[in-house]
Every structure is written in C-alpha cells, then in structure tokens.
C-alpha cells in the first residue's frame, strides 16, 4: 500500500495531516520493534502517538466503527475523558475461574518490551501509552457455554484516541486529544507495510464525512419490535419466592436475581442513535459500546467497580433502589423511604463492607464515605457509597488485580459470594453474558477504570437482549422486585427506541 497523507481534522475542517514526517517517525518505531522482535524472538508491541484536536468522540466512533469488527467507545464522568478505539493489534483472552489473571499476565508480558515513538499528548486524564480495553463476563461459564461474547476479552487497539475534558463554555469545539497507533511486530513483519496500514486506518477513521449522517437517516427503514420476557413475569416472581425461602433457611444472606427482555426488531437497531440517546438521557453515567464481530454490547452505567490512578484506588458501592417520584414531593418521599429503610441500608452495607475488606488486602488508609449518598437517575434512585484507599508502598497490585479481587461484588451476585453464585447457576436459567460483568481499560503501569456493566444490552443485528436485576433479601416482595426491574429496563428500551 503506497503512503498517502492522512487528514486528521476537527468538525470545522481545521486540523493537521499525518504527513511524511509522521510516516517516517511511525516507520522508525516499527523498525525498532522489528529489531527487538528478531533479537528477543517474540512479538513486540510498537506504539506511536501524536497530539491532535478532535470533535465529538461519539461521532468519530460512529464513523470509524464501520471499518472494523472490533471497536470500543468510552465516555465517563469520573474524569470527563473519552476513549475511542478501532481495530485490534493484539487480543488478550482468558477462560474460566482465572480469566482475569490470564489477561493480566498476557498484558504484562506484551508491554514488558514496548517500543514507543512519536510525541505523547499532555493534559489528558489518568492513563498513559497504549491501553488494553474490553471486559469480562459475569460468570466464567457464560460465554463458554453460549459462544456469544468471550469469558474474557481485552485487546490493544490498532488506533486509539484519548480526549481531555472539554473546556467549560467551549461545547462543540475541538478538544485536546492523543492519537495513538499500535501494532505487534513479529520477526518476519514488514515494518513499512505495517506503518502504511496504520496511516491508512487513521485516514479512514478521522477524515470527516459530512454526508454520513444524512445517508444513515435516509437508509433507516421503519421498525416494529416484538418482546419476550425470559423468564416470564410469573415464573420470575416464583424465582424470587424461591430465593427468599432459601435466604430465610440460612443458605445465604442476599442474592441478585436478573431477568432478560429479548427484543426482535424488523431491522437492525441504529446503534449511533442509541448511544446519543443514552448519553443525552443519562447524565452522570458512563456510556460504553463494545463491538466484537457481529455483537455490540452497550450501556449507560451509574456504577464503577474500581479506578486506579497515581496509586489511589476508588471503588463504589451502589446498592439499594427505589423509583423516582412523578412530582418533587413524591420524589422526596421516595428518597426518605430509601434512606430510612432498614432492609435497604443493610443490603447496602453488605456491599460496602466487602469493598472495604477487599481493598484492605492491597491498600492502606481505606475509608468509606458516610452517610451513603443518594444518586438520582432518570427512572430510579440508589444508595451510593464511595470507598477509597491508597496502594501500599510494597504493593504491586494494578487495576486488573483489583478487578479479580472485587468482581462480582454482592451488588451483582450476592453474599456470601460462593453460595449466592451457586444458587444462581442452578436456578436463574439466564445467560447474563457481559451484563453485570465489567467493562473498561488498563494501562501498562496498572492504572485504569472499570465500570460495572448494568443498564446495558447485547445486540446482534435486529435482536437485542436487555437485562435488569435486583438484590433479594429475606423480606423481598416479588411484585415490588419485578417493578424495580421494569424501571431499570426503561433507559435501554428508550435508547433503542423500544416503547
């Protein structure tokens, strides 16, 4: 493939090109990686970067995802940053009980002899260099049995764009960002071909297409949908009664029971439109979308599992739910009921205690904010407690180690963990896939962010599996728990245009 200049532009058409100097620098990076691959007789990751200005990350993702079977979108309120990743330089997989560890070990090995080039951007949120992105299923056996999303899949993107926090009052203007191109070189790789392919990918992804949205809207057919509840409503309420019987018998203290609504549409769903609706209707949530082959897993989650930056660790306990009120007065009454419920406070404290105990294994100065805060979303409100710690001086733990230690929390599976998960495996009858799993990213120094993948859906063309669950304790009421899941399903139904 001959080298051609790749234009990297903002929505206003102002930008710079990836010209001969950039190509030369990228080629030099690839050649140095090739030399190291031949010397060490193993694959070597090359990562080249340069600053640029970008417009709306969702627009970049919407355009760029058409060029590959694997892409990633991440927009988080935790630090205001965004991440768009296209293509795959190297996949990291795991299976079974130690799947997170397998991915972690593969990532550490890959970045051990990393070769870098170009110019890194400044002023970005936490995280540096090439990233490993992706996620993990709720249960190890889910993806193994169904063949949908893998048990564990993280990958190094061929192209990644990390954006800084937009400047207040500068909405719609380009924001500082970093373009990073990644490739794995083998002993027989052609570095010039690798460099040309990466430049070509940047051209495909970043050259604006002003007519793309018009064409997409023009080609959208009218759509009808048919929905099926799995299991049916009465059967699911029967499972709630069965779970509370077991809790009262002392088998476990809490279990989180999920259900699925499977929607079949007359045409494939408009995913960029769904993402736009999600972020517009759910401020304060982390919006994510993972494309893997024919599947897309997307959501707008209010919950994070863990964040690690500058050796500070943050976890979040989000457990205890009540609806939003139709009026301000009703909303305040619902909030008082949420805060004052002994049942809900106990359910919440189980989660927070587990987080404190898990962080104490690798952190010092572990603290949990008190009292719990109330997080208000479009359809529900939750009790929320932030837990914070500082990695001990002698700790080598990184974000993936903490994912393995924390997932799944009692807010997603139950307590005690082993007994609750065993009951779910025997009774829930549901492939959660990555619902209630984790999605996020890690860098080579162990920093990273992982969200709990709730308020989410798994899509395959015109078919969507939407998920919701709730925590059950001894006095849980089946009708109230069913109503809670209906409220939790509403955001994704609205995002996909299912009413």
With 0-12 / 13-18 / 19 or more C-beta atoms within 10 angstroms meaning exposed / middle / buried, residue 114 is middle
Q: Which whole-number Å values give the CA distances from 67 to 61, 86, 180, 227, 289, in the listed order?
A: 10, 8, 17, 31, 16
Rounded Cα distance between 289 and 274, Å, is 10
Q: Which residues contact 374 (CB under 8 A, 6 or more apart)?
A: 335, 338, 339, 381, 382, 383, 384
Output DSSP code: residue 167.
Answer: P
DSSP string of 221-245, one letter each residue: PP--EEEEEES-HHHHHHHHHHHHH
Of 351, 470, 458, 414, residue with least CA distance to 137: 458
Output DSSP code: residue 103.
Answer: H
Handedness of CA 57, 62, 67, 68 (dihedral sign): positive
φ, ψ of residue 303 to 5 degrees: the values are -120, 135
303 is catalytic: yes
**Exactly one of 260, 303, 347, 349 is catalytic; which is it?**
303
Q: Which whole-number Å values give the CA distances from 380 to 58, 452, 475, in the listed order?
A: 26, 17, 21
CB–CB of 269/219 below 8 Å? no
Beta strands (DSSP E) in 334-410 are 363-368, 373-376, 380-391
CB–CB of 130/111 below 8 Å? yes
293 is catalytic: no
3-state secondary structure of 129: coil
Q: H or E stretch including 87?
A: none
CB–CB of 47/181 below 8 Å? yes
CB–CB of 32/115 below 8 Å? yes
**Exactly one of 178, 254, 347, 349 is catalytic; which is it?**
254
In terms of phi and psi (left: phi > 0; alpha: psi -120 to 50; beta: otherwise), the region of 179 is beta
CB–CB of 457/262 below 8 Å? no
Decide the pairing of beta strands 44-54 and 115-118: parallel
Output DSSP code: residue 496.
Answer: T
Task: Extract the tokens encoding 350.
Answer: 């189980």
Q: Which residues are catalytic?
A: 254, 303
């Amino acid at each position: 493939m001959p080298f051609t200049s790749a234009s990297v532009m903002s929505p206003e058409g102002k930008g710079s090109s990836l010209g001969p100097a950039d190509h030369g620098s990228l080629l030099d990076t690839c050649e140095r990686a090739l030399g190291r691959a031949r010397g060490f007789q193993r694959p070597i990751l090359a990562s080249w970067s340069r600053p640029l200005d970008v417009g709306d990350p969702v627009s970049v993702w919407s355009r760029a995802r058409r060029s590959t079977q694997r892409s990633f979108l991440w927009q988080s309120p935790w630090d205001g940053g965004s991440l768009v990743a296209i293509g795959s330089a190297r996949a990291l997989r795991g299976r079974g009980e130690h799947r997170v560890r397998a991915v972690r070990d593969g990532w550490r090995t890959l970045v051990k002899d990393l070769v870098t080039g170009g110019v890194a951007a400044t002023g970005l949120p936490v995280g540096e260099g090439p990233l490993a992105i992706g996620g993990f299923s709720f249960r190890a056996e889910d993806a193994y049995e169904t063949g949908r999303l893998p048990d564990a899949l993280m990958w190094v993107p061929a192209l990644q764009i990390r954006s800084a926090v937009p400047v207040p009052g500068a909405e719609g203007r380009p924001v500082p960002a970093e373009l990073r191109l990644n490739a794995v070189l083998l002993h027989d790789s052609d570095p010039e071909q690798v460099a040309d392919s990466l430049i070509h990918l940047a051209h495909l992804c970043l050259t604006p297409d002003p007519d793309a949205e018009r064409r997409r809207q023009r080609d959208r057919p009218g759509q009808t949908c048919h929905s099926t509840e799995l299991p049916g409503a009465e059967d699911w309420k029967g499972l709630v009664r069965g779970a509370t019987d077991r809790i009262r018998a002392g088998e476990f203290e809490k279990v989180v029971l999920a259900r699925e609504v499977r929607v079949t549409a007359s045409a494939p769903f408009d995913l960029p439109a769904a993402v736009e609706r999600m972020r517009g209707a759910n401020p304060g949530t982390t919006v994510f979308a993972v494309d893997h082959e024919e599947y897309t897993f997307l959501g707008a989650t209010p919950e994070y599992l863990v964040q690690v930056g500058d050796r500070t660790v943050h976890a979040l306990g989000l457990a205890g739910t009540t609806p939003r009120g139709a009026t301000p007065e009703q909303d305040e009454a619902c909030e008082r009921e949420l805060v004052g419920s002994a049942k809900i406070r106990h359910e919440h404290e189980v989660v927070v205690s587990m987080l404190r105990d898990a962080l104490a294994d690798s952190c010092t100065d572990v603290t949990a904010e008190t009292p719990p805060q109330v997080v208000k979303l479009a359809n529900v409100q939750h009790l929320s407690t932030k837990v914070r710690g500082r990695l001990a001086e002698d700790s080598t733990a990184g974000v993936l180690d903490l994912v393995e230690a924390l997932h799944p929390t009692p807010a997603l599976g139950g307590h005690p963990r082993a007994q609750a998960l065993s009951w779910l495996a025997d009774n829930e009858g549901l492939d959660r896939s990555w619902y209630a799993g984790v999605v996020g990213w890690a860098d080579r120094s162990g920093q990273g962010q992982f969200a709990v993948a709730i308020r989410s859906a798994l899509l395959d063309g015109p078919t969507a599996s939407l998920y919701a669950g709730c925590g059950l304790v001894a006095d849980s009421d089946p009708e109230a728990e069913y109503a809670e899941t209906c409220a939790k399903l509403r955001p994704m139904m609205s995002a996909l245009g299912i009413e």
